[in-house]
Amino acid sequence: MAQSKDPLHGVTLQMILERLVAYFGWEKLGSHIRINCFNYDPSIKSCLKFLRRTDWARKKVEDLYLDLDYAKKDERWWEKGKNPAPETPAPGMKKI
């Protein structure tokens, strides 16, 4: 059986969002990706609803997840507690 080359194969949008929130927290995530659902009364449910309807925002979230490259290096990085934001921002991201 051939394996999928899609790095997000088997990873749901909810899993991506929960992992990013666990890593960055809402405030830092909202500074990386400037969309209102991250900055004003954020919740997983409301953000998922917005991201599922808004392709450009979903792409930004997926790209940030992939740019961090943690999915490949350590699949359980989000469970190790909140980590500080990386010293070197992901490509295309500003350091906060």
Q: For 61-86, what is each residue's pLDDT tens digit?
A: 999 999 886 555 655 655 555 554 45
Write down the architecture of domain 13-79 according to CATH: Orthogonal Bundle (1.10)
The yes-or-no verdict on residue 34 having pLDDT over 80 is yes
For the chain, domain boundaries: 13-79
70 with 10: CB under 8 angstroms?
Answer: no
With a pLDDT cut of 90, the percent of the chain lying above it is 55
More confidently predicted of 67 and 90: 67
Tokens 């997840």 belong to 65
Q: Distance between CA 82 and CA 20 in Å, rounded? A: 10
How much is the pTM?
Answer: 0.70
Tokens encoding 76: 């359980």
Query: In which band, very low, low, confident or very high, does the pLDDT at 6 lie, cut at 50, 70 and 90?
Result: confident
